[in-house]
Structure 1
Amino acid sequence: MGRLLDHGFYRTTITGRQHIPATGPVVFAANHLSYLDGPVMVGASSRYMHVMVRHDMFKGFLGWVLRSSGQIPVDRSGDRAALQAAKGVLQRGGCVGILPEGTRGSGDAASMNSGVAWLALNSAALVVPVAVLGTRITGEHRDKIPPLRRRFHVAFGEAVKIERQAGMSGRASMDAAVEQIRTTLAQHIRQAVKISGQQLPDDQTPPRTEESARMRAEQSEDD
């Protein structure tokens, strides 16, 4: 279904597939613009992944599709069971997809939840940053499904190994891992924007962090 979305309903350019490890556990960490980011990422990948999806999406026919395809329901208010399920996939050598910004937004990775860092630190998985562009553009509501045949761009970055820092407490190690992944993903998104020419949506809201402000400034310079 992801490939049908990417190449049947939409026009998706894919770069960086060579960075995806051929074997072993992988956490794919992508930015989050719209409802389509997860399936578009799945369709673009050379390996199948189990994506962590908001639990209230598991209803009706869509819920049946999600469960049948092995996607993982997660309650964003805190869901240890979902993390354990994802860890189980990784321990079996599989792949997990996660949108660590947690909610649909500007997609610049200015903020991030700790779930992706927990998975990376508690498994042998490598983390592959993924930039998804075009699934929402400036002026579109965050709930809008993009019109058919729009051009998307999915870029896979180089895999990184996240490890606990010697001499750090568990909490400090977790915070350091979150920031390492966030910085890696933010830098990868900026590079994907430059290469593809597809911009992140400008929602006309004040920058949330210095990272967000810097990304907007760099995009303006490129324009």
Structure 2
Amino acid sequence: MTTHADRPRTDGVRSPATFWLYRFRWFGRLVIRRRYDVRVLHAERFPADGPVIVAANHIGVIDGPLLAIFAPRPVHAWTKIEMFKGLLGRFLSAVGQIPLDRFRSDPLAVKVALRTLRDGRVVGVFPEGTRGNGELDTYHRGAAYLALVTGAPVLPLTFIGSRESGGSSGSLPKKGARIHMVVGDPVRIDAVPWPRTPALVEKATLDLHRRMLAGIQAALAETGRALPGPLPTNDPALDPDEGP
């Protein structure tokens, strides 16, 4: 694995907070399970230690909280910077989530994620860049880049049931809904020394995209369920062209 002194350097970057995320996930699980039937399948595939990049599809507004709280290990996820305002923003910072500007290059967000991985922790990425049908119609390069820099395995994860068919991007499932989080097999990508060419990142991205699509199909077959389909036409989700 790389160190903080390797390029891009992360020895001068502040790590995300850990205390509240690591010690109070049990409380978050208790609260959420009072409303939803959350089931994590194949938790044994989640590496027990060391750096991990979780790459998940994104269908509902609660995917981020579910990832941070129910994954077998605490997850520091890239979270859109628009949410880091007021009380919600202070809460997200306190529980170690990483603000990300999705609409332009964000070197600080990348370095914070790299710092987290180099410290042996878990980073969460939603490669679609926004909520949608969860079928990975778009797939950004952030997960592949983080893996190429650090050598951390990429762990595909499929959300099913966190948004109902026809629901808006901000809608919640009905009380009692079953939500599946299906953990896929880790994808190993060897770290590549600086400089890392765009062609290399693109190649790794295409491979990850293909593996995640296969994982989604396997998860749907195993659970006998379907993804919610597209968002309503009057609720277009913004899909950033730039950013990880």
**TM tier, shorter chain?**
0.7 to 0.9
Partner of 2:106: 79
Partner of 1:11: 37
Partner of 2:73: 47
CA RMSD of aligned residues (A): 2.1
2:179 to 139, 152, 162: 152
3-state SS of paired residue (1:122) = helix
User: Which stretches in structure 1 are left out of the alignment for 5+ residues?
Assistant: 206-223
Poorly superposed stretches of 4+, deviation over 4 Å: none
Q: Alpha-carbon deviation of 1:5? A: 5.4
State the AA in 2 paired with 1:148: K
Partner of 1:179: 206
User: Which stretches in structure 2 are left out of the alignment for 5+ residues?
Assistant: 1-24, 233-244
State the AA in 1 paired with 2:114: K
* Separation in 2, partners of 1:4, 1:113: 33
1:38 to 56, 64, 67: 64
2:146 to 119, 136, 139: 119
Q: Where is the helix percentage greater, Structure 1 or Structure 2?
A: 1
Q: Alpha-carbon deviation of 1:163? A: 3.2
Aligned residues between the structures: 204
> Compared with structure 1, are the counterparts of its residues 204 and 128 closer, same or farther at alpha carbon in structure 2 (3 Å cutoff)?
closer
* Separation in 2, partners of 1:67, 1:54: 12
> Compared with structure 1, are the counterparts of its residues 164 and 25 closer, same or farther at alpha carbon in structure 2 (3 Å cutoff)?
closer
Q: Alpha-carbon deviation of 1:160? A: 1.0
Instruction: Give the TM-score taking structure 2 as reference length.
Output: 0.78
3-state SS of paired residue (1:9) = coil
3-state SS of paired residue (1:82) = helix
Partner of 1:64: 90
Partner of 1:29: 55
* Separation in 2, partners of 1:72, 1:204: 26
1:129 to 149, 156, 161: 156
Q: Alpha-carbon deviation of 1:86? A: 0.3
* Separation in 1, partners of 2:81, 2:231: 29
State the AA in 2 paired with 1:122: V
> Compared with structure 1, are the counterparts of its residues 192 and 81 closer, same or farther at alpha carbon in structure 2 (3 Å cutoff)?
same
Counterpart contact for 2:147–2:191, Cα < 8 Å: no
* Separation in 1, partners of 2:32, 2:156: 19
